[in-house]
Amino acid sequence: MKINEIFYSLQGEGADIGLPTIFIRLTGCNLRCKYCDTEYAFYEGKEMGLEQIMEEIGKWRCKRVCITGGEPLLQNVHQLIDALIKRRYEVSVETNGSLSIDNLISKKIVVKMDIKCPSSGMNDKMRMENINLLRATDELKFIIENREDYEYAKSVIEKYKPVCKIIMQPVWGKAKKLADWILDDEINVRFSIQLHKILWKGKRGK
């Protein structure tokens, strides 16, 4: 498995924002979103075996792990997920919405899935049927840059009526407008801002 980085930090976004978490960032992504802030994960990384990964994360007492990327589903993550669950870790997997999550939803994990909006340039790559596979404990995230993105996200919510937690997150620097739109429309979503960018100014490995 090609690993870009493994680090310990606070979860920076989503429903569990602020919780101490070990991050396993896998190398490779099949999308090229215009606002991507982890382009270094496209290619950089080193091969690590399962026991190497387990040894590395064992440096911390934390029992919460987030598998992220890049796009982790491009690699065979299931052995890693199963090993983490067996060792009683709480596991979440961040995925970009373009690949099937069929093989994830039977596992006792949290799936954190994006649906890319128009400003990403990747919204036509989404696998929309994934939305109705998400469970109440999972998360559906929209990254919002402008009003078009916001209206697009609302239309997806209205059409698919997801049962999971719904996250709207602004592209960095666009927070207040999104907050105002959510309150004006009285929609039942969670506004999430990237905590790690506030605390560590986007420093890698934080």
**Higher-confidence position of 204 and 177:** 177
pLDDT the model gives residue 202: 65
Question: pLDDT tens for residues 121-152?
Answer: 999 999 999 999 999 999 999 999 999 999 99
pLDDT-based confidence at residue 204 (cuts at 50, 70, 90)? confident
> CA–CA separation, 132 vs 183, rounded Å?
26
Please determine, for residue 167, whether its predicted confidence score (pLDDT) is greater than 90. yes
Average pLDDT of the chain is: 95
- Res 194 pLDDT > 90: no
> Which segments of 36-146 does DSSP mark as H helices, in order?
50-57, 78-86
pLDDT in tens, 30-62: 999 999 989 999 999 999 999 999 999 999 999
Q: CA-to-CA distance for 185 and 188, rounded, in angstroms?
A: 9
| Distance from C-alpha of 175 to C-alpha of 39, rounded to nearest angstrom | 22
pLDDT band at 206 (very low <50, low <70, confident <90, very high): low
The pLDDT-based confidence of 81 (bands split at 50, 70, 90) is very high
pLDDT of 13 over the 80 cut: yes
Residue type, 86: K
**Which pLDDT score is estimated for 200?**
73
pLDDT at 18 over 90: yes
Q: Please report the domains of the chain, with CATH numbers, ordered by start residue.
A: 2-200 (3.20.20.70)
Question: Distance (Å, rounded) from C-alpha 192 to C-alpha 201?
Answer: 16
